[in-house]
Structure 1
Amino acid sequence: MIEDLVDRTLLVGFEEPDPPDWFRRAAPGLGGVVLYGQNLRVDTDAARLAALLHQDSDVVLAVDEEGGDVTRVHYRNGSPVPGNYVLGAADDEGLTGAVATRIGSGLRAAGIGWNLAPDVDVNSAPENPVIGVRSFGADPDLVSRHAATWVLAMENTGVAACAKHFPGHGDTRSDSHYGLPVVDCDEAEWRRVHLPPFVAAIEVGVRSVMTAHVVVPALDDRPATMSPKLLTDVLRGELGYQGVIVTDALDMGAIKDGVGLGPGAVAALRAGADALCLGAIGGEGLYQEVRTAVLAAVDDGTLPLRRLEEAAERVEALLAWVRKAPDPGDLSDGTDPGLEAARRAARVFGDPLLTGPPVVVELRATPNLAVGEAYWDLAGPLTERGVPPHEVLRLTDNSELSAVLTAAQGRPLVVVGRDVPRHPWQQKAWHVLSGQRPDAVLVEIGLPRPDVTAHGQRVFVGGAGRPNLQVAAELLTGAGHRP
């Protein structure tokens, strides 16, 4: 039935902690079930949901588990491994492979077979609001090497990997969750900078490639997700890629607020995409809207039936690989490669050593939707090292800076921010606080940009995962290695 073919192309989510009835009915025929942060209240929820869904079928579960800032399984207490920036900065492919292996082994043990990672974008725009520390770096060769290593290690655990976001989201200055970014580079620059990591991932056999909701005018005036030139001519034809092409979530603003969810889904399939990813919020409505639109397009000839069949066949081949992949067992060697990488990647300016329990000020901006409200915390690691904060204050604007200075009188002051240079209010907060307290320490957990935050005592740890914050605590308490 055509309905079965359509369902096979859909990766569907739900927003409840437990799968609702409509979802459990649909799941056996779907291309995959995508778990999001709101589904996972504790680390063991992924395994619990997998067991629950596998009572009805052998449906494959997918998740965004990049490590570091983007984590779903560890959404409530932080990733136990750092993200790509740290791995690129450490530039040790052995550590990169070991971290990917740890992620993959954990997913496999939890019953998850498809990881919508790694991010292989070259972050050539430091002010990029959605990639940043999710990228291995700004050098195409470095990103390519680590992308290939990460993919191989992930798939050696029996979990399918996904190179994203084709044709490259690293040179954008807006967020595709809210609008349609434009990548302003010529074709020669795109081929030199942004294409190589995808080539590297394809060469080592990556099972899926995710599209970006971006426009590269030098290549096509349509969003890449809906571009036959990019998906069929370049990805399939020029690069010879035969795996699954999966869209980024179609309910993101770049598509939903542009051409619309249903038309965007049809256009993506026509362009050469095989799997249509949908978000969690309003999951049933998203599923029904896309399903109805695709069925109507086949019925009226807008979408050739053979293209739908081809897409479903490719998805089925990936699912068959996941189901048959042997379990390699425990691949860990007892070390903590993520912590080692985080220590190597950290950068220190000035003297951040604390002289006693500090007042910790957290600068909390609204995170991008890829990260969500994923947990991060410095107070816990400081406490574990015997220096519990005297007080932790959270700021979302600059209205309480005087109160912060009063609270910190006579005590060390630590300011924690994520991507401080990208948030004017955070820049001002650091300027005011460090101006009044030259001994204050900035702990930057976003993309390190010491040329922008160019004064005071500073610790750059390149991410919000648990190892990143542990390294920050080590450096503040004098027990860490000074890079």
Structure 2
Amino acid sequence: MSGDLYRLARTVLHPGFEGTSAPDWLRRALGEGLGGVVLFARNAIGAGLIRELRAENPDVVIAIDEEGGTVTRLEAEDGSSFPGNRALGVVDDVRLTERVGRQIGRMLADLDITLDYAPSADVNADPANPVIGVRSFGPTAELVSRHTAAYVRGVQGAGVAACAKHFPGHGDTVTDSHLALPTVHASRELIQERDLPPFRAAIEAGVRSIMSGHLLVPALDPSLPATLSRTVMTELLRGELGFDGMLVTDAIEMRAVAAMFPPGEIAVRALDAGVDAICAGLIDEDGLRAIVEAIVAAVREGRLAEDRLAQAAARVRELSSWYAGQAELRAKVHGDVDDEVGLDAARRALTTTGTGRLERPPLVVEVNTRLNRAIDADTPTGVSAALTALLPGTARMRLEQDGELPPFDDRPVVLVVHDAARHPWVRETVARAQAARPDAIVVDTGVPAPAGSGTHVHTHGVSRVSAQAAAEWLVR
């Protein structure tokens, strides 16, 4: 048995942390061989922080969720410069998707970030899905497959590793895995036809990493979530689909798995199932030590084969080596700035009905629905700000569920909603507002409900550029 089990155990861990600088315990762990770090908006990500991390371990895999659209870590304060996957799927131009992926990859390359936990390769088969929605390219396997491959080519064409998620597919669920364990009620045949093709496409495009979904899929394994299932992770993903890159878990503090086992046990079971890297989105020194100890103990007790742990560590190092080998490519794309691609995509993604427009400052009523836990920050829809820039004097109010509509005066009214298709109370609120003001304009930034009477603008995503495109159309 190897005398360096602790180093192997550290290599497969990818923790997140609080604060805007690397804490002392994280620096020590990096010096002792910690294999990865995942960054969030709370870390105020910048080149200085990343230099701190690489000073302790130049080979560390630095990961981030930078999907564009709703999920952005680098632009959480003002909204993303890119409209997100559903908008790209609505446009359905794979060259545009590849351009967007390349620019996102270029942003990460300039910061020296190794791995982008993107794209979402989930087929959003259920419009009621509370966590995927506009993060998916769309509702069909063919559409999602071609855009997943294009996005992977774009990101990796900038010298940064992409990561297709959430295997074997989080699109046909009505439960957010951050909060509970979702179940995918689909036959094996349907999963093969609908959910797996985007992952096959990603693998064919050379994706360097795949993220597991914390999903119970009875047709594949009736007893264990996919992350902890050898049947799903090894037999299906490795064996049948032929993926040999780095397989990483979704964050193990998510209740889908955290309600079942403590973190160390989740890590051991995931590694045994075939996973290579354990993402722990928020952890402290004691928590990290406990996971390391659990992995080492499992090897010593014979519950986890040392060869399996060594294989996992080797795949983490292989991804780091691949990234190191892309240095010339990253230098080449550094000046390849395509400033207009995000706004171009957002403009092309707009779908509209009606002819309403704004000639004077409106009252914007944000009929808000709670954004999902994956977002990591209160990313703004931005429509109010975008309209204010074009029509100074625009007023804004936010309406929560059970809130009362304001008394309308003679100002134009704009209702900003998100995922109206999922929320009856939002549709009812819109109906009441339009009964009082038939000229009210509806802007939906999520998966829209069928457009009713009046003017409707669908951005198909939450981003700064999506808001700007909507505002431009309204003030045209």
Name the TM-score, length of structure 1 as normaliser: 0.93
CA-to-aligned-CA distance 1:224-252 (integer Å, 9 cap, x gap): 10111111111111111110110000110
Structure 1 position 285, deviation (Å): 4.3
Structure 1 position 400, deviation (Å): 2.9
1:52-451 matches, within 5 Å, as 52-58=52-58, 59-221=60-222, 222-280=224-282, 282-326=283-327, 327=330, 328-330=332-334, 332=336, 334=338, 336-372=340-376, 373-385=378-390, 387-401=391-405, 404=406, 406=407, 408-450=408-450
Moved more, 226-235 or 283-292: 283-292
CA contact (8 A) 1:398 1:429 kept: no
Residues 433, 156 of structure 1: alpha-carbon distance in 2 compared, 3 angstrom cutoff: same
In the alignment, the residues of structure 2 paired with residue 46 and residue 419 of structure 1 have an alpha-carbon distance, to the nearest angstrom, of 32
In the alignment, the residues of structure 2 paired with residue 46 and residue 88 of structure 1 have an alpha-carbon distance, to the nearest angstrom, of 30
Structure 1 position 186, deviation (Å): 0.4
1:23-34 matches, within 5 Å, as 23-28=26-31, 29-34=33-38
For 1:161, what is the secondary structure of its paired residue?
strand
Residues 194, 331 of structure 1: alpha-carbon distance in 2 compared, 3 angstrom cutoff: farther
Residues 232, 287 of structure 1: alpha-carbon distance in 2 compared, 3 angstrom cutoff: same
The number of aligned residues is 466
1:474 equivalenced with 2:472 (yes/no) = yes
Amino acid across the alignment from 2:238:
R
For 1:191, what is the secondary structure of its paired residue?
helix
In the alignment, the residues of structure 1 paired with residue 221 and residue 46 of structure 2 have an alpha-carbon distance, to the nearest angstrom, of 39
Q: For residue 481 of structure 1, what is the aligned residue in structure 2?
A: none
In the alignment, the residues of structure 2 paired with residue 399 and residue 376 of structure 1 have an alpha-carbon distance, to the nearest angstrom, of 19
CA-to-aligned-CA distance 1:340-369 (integer Å, 9 cap, x gap): 222121111223311310011112332211
In the alignment, the residues of structure 2 paired with residue 356 and residue 303 of structure 1 have an alpha-carbon distance, to the nearest angstrom, of 67
In the alignment, the residues of structure 2 paired with residue 117 and residue 93 of structure 1 have an alpha-carbon distance, to the nearest angstrom, of 16
Amino acid across the alignment from 1:471:
A
Structure 1 position 296, deviation (Å): 1.7
1:19-58 matches, within 5 Å, as 19-28=22-31, 29-40=33-44, 45-58=45-58
Amino acid across the alignment from 1:442:
V
Name the TM-score, length of structure 2 as normaliser: 0.95
CA contact (8 A) 1:62 1:115 kept: yes
Structure 1 position 113, deviation (Å): 1.3
CA contact (8 A) 2:356 2:454 kept: no
CA-to-aligned-CA distance 1:270-327 (integer Å, 9 cap, x gap): 10000000112x4434423322221221121111111111100111111111122122
For 1:348, what is the secondary structure of its paired residue?
strand
Moved more, 7-16 or 325-334: 325-334
CA contact (8 A) 1:180 1:214 kept: yes
RMSD, matched Cα = 1.5
In the alignment, the residues of structure 2 paired with residue 12 and residue 140 of structure 1 have an alpha-carbon distance, to the nearest angstrom, of 32
Q: For residue 11 of structure 1, what is the aligned residue in structure 2?
A: 14
Residues 299, 389 of structure 1: alpha-carbon distance in 2 compared, 3 angstrom cutoff: farther
Moved more, 326-335 or 262-271: 326-335
In the alignment, the residues of structure 2 paired with residue 289 and residue 352 of structure 1 have an alpha-carbon distance, to the nearest angstrom, of 59
Amino acid across the alignment from 2:440:
A
Identity %: 44
Structure 1 runs (4+) deviating above 4 angstroms are none
In the alignment, the residues of structure 1 paired with residue 241 and residue 37 of structure 2 have an alpha-carbon distance, to the nearest angstrom, of 28
In the alignment, the residues of structure 2 paired with residue 241 and residue 9 of structure 1 have an alpha-carbon distance, to the nearest angstrom, of 18
CA contact (8 A) 1:46 1:111 kept: no
CA contact (8 A) 1:444 1:459 kept: yes
Structure 1 position 389, deviation (Å): 4.4
Amino acid across the alignment from 1:27:
L
Q: Structure 2: where are the runs of 5+ without partners?
A: none
